[in-house]
Amino acid sequence: MIRLIAMLVGLGFSGVVLLAFLFGVGPAFSVFAEHGRFVAPTAEHEFHKESHAPEGGFSFAGPFGKYDKQQLQRGLQVYAEVCAACHSLKYVSFRDIEALGYSEAQVKAFAASKQVPGIDPNTGEATTRPGLPTDRFPSPYPNAVAAAAANNNAIPPDLSLMAKARHNGSEYIYSLLTGYQAQPAELLEHFPDAKTPDGLYYNPYFANLNLAMAPPLSDGQVTYGDGNPEPTISQMSADVAAFLTWTAEPKMEKRKQTGWAVLAFLLFATILAYLSKKQIWASIKPRKD
């Protein structure tokens, strides 16, 4: 009796496995036969592009790279005149920009030109006041609800650490800002359901190809001072990408310098240890069996 029950259970299990194969693995093989992979292709997989650096790359790339302070100042200008309308920079203080080459007086003037949250000393009510160097960059919205209401229910992310929060962050920011374009006809031909919805914008460098942020930059939108390059979309994108890399990693140059010093010390210590070993064991001869 027990053997009969075991046989029935085994047959039932085998039947379930067969059904799973026919209705699960079977279609997967048909997908593989058609597309050369077990997973059916998606618009995001086929048309998403890898981020790239601007022509000539970034000055801070590589083990010996350094920030270009002129570029960082231009990037700050692009952020202040364009990006700050929607995106916060809540982990950066006004006094931090002194590292970009600004004087103390310039930092105070820049901070005073911004309004930050404050308290009325007479009534105790919330108000705004001119910024101080110790204040952080203010948020353009009082809270997340207001931010969502002003941006089609999409809350603009804080940009303080964006360059570290994304893979190849500097290149990602640059590519995203320069990547707005019309949907390719090929995409709509193969994936008619992937048409960009109203209120969104096609960008192949974004994860799902469509994002709520409208193209923020246009040629000549920001006026650079004399001696600076032409403010094209590509140039402004590279500048603000460099600036946001600095906000995310302001100590990068010191980190690289420290890294080279540590490598030099380790190399010296290794050589010293090897010579010490040779000296200690010099008088000991190997035993001959």
Question: If you average pLDDT over residues 12-30, what whole number do you get?
Answer: 54
Of the listed ranges 3-7, 49-53, 106-110, 135-139, the least confidently predicted one is: 3-7
Taking the C-alpha atoms of residue 99 and residue 68, their distance in angstroms, rounded to an integer, is 11
Question: If you average pLDDT over residues 95-113, what whole number do you get?
Answer: 96
The confidence score (pLDDT) of residue 31 equals 44
Sign of the C-alpha dihedral computed for residues 237, 241, 247 and 250 taken in this order: negative
- pLDDT above 90 covers a percentage of the chain that reads 68
Of the listed ranges 2-11, 19-28, 135-144, the least confidently predicted one is: 19-28
Question: If you average pLDDT over residues 279-287, what whole number do you get?
Answer: 79
pLDDT tens figures, 185-203: 999 888 988 899 998 999 9
The confidence score (pLDDT) of residue 42 equals 86
Taking the C-alpha atoms of residue 274 and residue 184, their distance in angstroms, rounded to an integer, is 62
Q: Could you tell me which of 247, 239, 67, 82 has the C-alpha nearest to residue 160?
A: 247
The confidence score (pLDDT) of residue 29 equals 46
For 190, residues 6+ apart whose C-beta sits below 8 A from its C-beta are: 43, 46
Q: 128 φ, ψ to 5°?
A: -125, 160
DSSP for 223-255, please give it: ---TTSPP--HHHHHHHHHHHHHHHH-TTHHHH
- Indicate the pLDDT class of residue 8, thresholds 50, 70 and 90: low
Pick the CATH number of 46-92+137-250 from 1.10.760.10, 3.30.465.10, 1.10.10.60, 3.90.79.10: 1.10.760.10
Question: If you average pLDDT over residues 26-51, what whole number do you get?
Answer: 66
The confidence score (pLDDT) of residue 19 equals 52
The confidence score (pLDDT) of residue 9 equals 60
The SS3 assignment for 185 reads helix
Residue of 250 and 121 predicted with greater confidence: 250
Beta 126-130 vs 201-202: how paired, if at all? unpaired
Write the single-letter amino acid at 202. Answer: Y
| Residues in the chain, total | 289
Residue whose pair of structure tokens reads 């920001």 in the numeric block: 222
pLDDT at 289 over 70: no
For 17, residues 6+ apart whose C-beta sits below 8 A from its C-beta are: none
pLDDT tens figures, 47-92: 899 999 999 999 999 999 999 999 999 999 999 999 999 999 999 9
Taking the C-alpha atoms of residue 177 and residue 82, their distance in angstroms, rounded to an integer, is 12
**Structural domain boundaries of the chain?**
12-41, 46-92+137-250, 257-281
